[in-house]
Structure 1
């Protein structure tokens, strides 16, 4: 269910149990973890989340979830999943990279790879991303790739989530 994907510099593959410490460290880095889901959680909650990747997502073949590697080492997390948001019918990309890799263009490369997989392999006319309005780095990456901003969703915590969409050129949505 989780195929291996490759770009010029990145390799995406299913997680291995030995990736747990790296996964938890990524999600525990406040500069990265704050943008995932509902934001920062405890290390124990992140370990439980890692366990659910195996016990639910992989076991039930729900959607692809990848460990992202650069030069052979773990540098991030990626998903392409059906959106859990009731106001969004479709699939969205989720990604995050370790702080040490920022500024190398890997975010753009990763988002491009996920978007291409959605359009070309899964045949999706639209690929979405939901991004906190203050996550300027991710917004810049997605706009660079041609994502257009749609809906603005006010959150209970006072923040705003933006819906961005990549559409195939012949898509009429």
Structure 2
């Protein structure tokens, strides 16, 4: 009678190979899930920031009386007599409001969207510094985060208030 105790070398190698394959598959699934989560989180944060920007600027830029763009600042006067400055410092976009003029303003809102630049354009898409009549666009160029950073833009139509 043959008395066998333990496992043979072939059985041990087969077990290690199968275990290594299982660990490799689990690691690949985990890595893919983590990358997918990172991408989804970045896209969700970017889209949430874009939506926030759209809500605030659509409300504040509704039919301004006057509008001037210089450097990294957009200055405009609302119909209610308030003065606003939309400024870009680095990649940080902020909106300030003043009651009497542009010199004494207080911070109204800071946006978390990483903005690259902004431009003011007329209806023919030519860059302008002052919108004196009719319609124009404020274009904000930003980065959408995720697995890869994607350059995007958002256009805000602006129609100056024309009293009757």
TM-score between the two structures when normalised by the length of structure 2: 0.25
Normalized against structure 1, the TM-score is what?
0.24
Name whichever structure is richer in strand by fraction: 2
